[in-house]
Amino acid sequence: MKQIKTLLIAAVLILGASNTMNAQAKVAHVDVSEIMSKMPAMLDAQNQLQKLSGTYDAEYKKMVEEYQTKIKKYETESTTATEAVNTERAKEVQDMQKRIVDYRDNAQKELQQKDNDIMKPIMEKVKASIQKVGKAKGFQYVLDGSTLILADGPNITADVKKDLGF
């Protein structure tokens, strides 16, 4: 009777251990930042954003130079100009300041929007590829390797790059 009890307990422990082992999730990791930094579509997007940013910067510098030139001119002429002319010029300078600030703010918003518009489809493509590769390899979880402290599981970064075609 004692042997049957011992065998029964051993069988329960073995079955419990095998169920626990089967219940463990398969986990892999991928370095999304590495993929993004080397992805041709990402490099093209960065070039587009730099070009647009350069256009905005050039226009902004032009506006600031024009503003500084007018200020210098108005300062040198302020002693010989009438009070009404100086008041009108002060208002013009304030309007220029406002236009420059508004332009800068709008340019930043437009660049951010363009960045979002360009990045969203790229991120979706990378995410879809990670999901595809992860499922094909039988993983239940795929973690972004750029934030992992310990990564003993398989790294599928190369497989995702291959799936994305680079």
User: CATH top-level class for 25-164?
Assistant: alpha beta
Q: How far, in Å, CA of 155 to CA of 49, rounded?
A: 31
Mean pLDDT by 10 residues, the chain (166 residues): 55 51 73 90 94 96 96 90 91 96 97 95 93 91 69 78 87
Q: Please report the pLDDT score of residue 166 as a whole number.
A: 83
Question: What predicted TM-score, i.e. pTM, was given to this entire model?
Answer: 0.66
Tell me which residue has tokens 């009438």: 82
DSSP secondary structure, 80-104, as one string:
TS-HHHHHHHHHHHHHHHHHHHHHH
- Helix, coil or strand: residue 142: strand
Q: Please report the pLDDT score of residue 7 as a whole number.
A: 47
Q: Please report the pLDDT score of residue 9 as a whole number.
A: 63
Q: Please report the pLDDT score of residue 43 as a whole number.
A: 92
C-alpha closest to that of 151 among 30, 33, 35, 25: 30
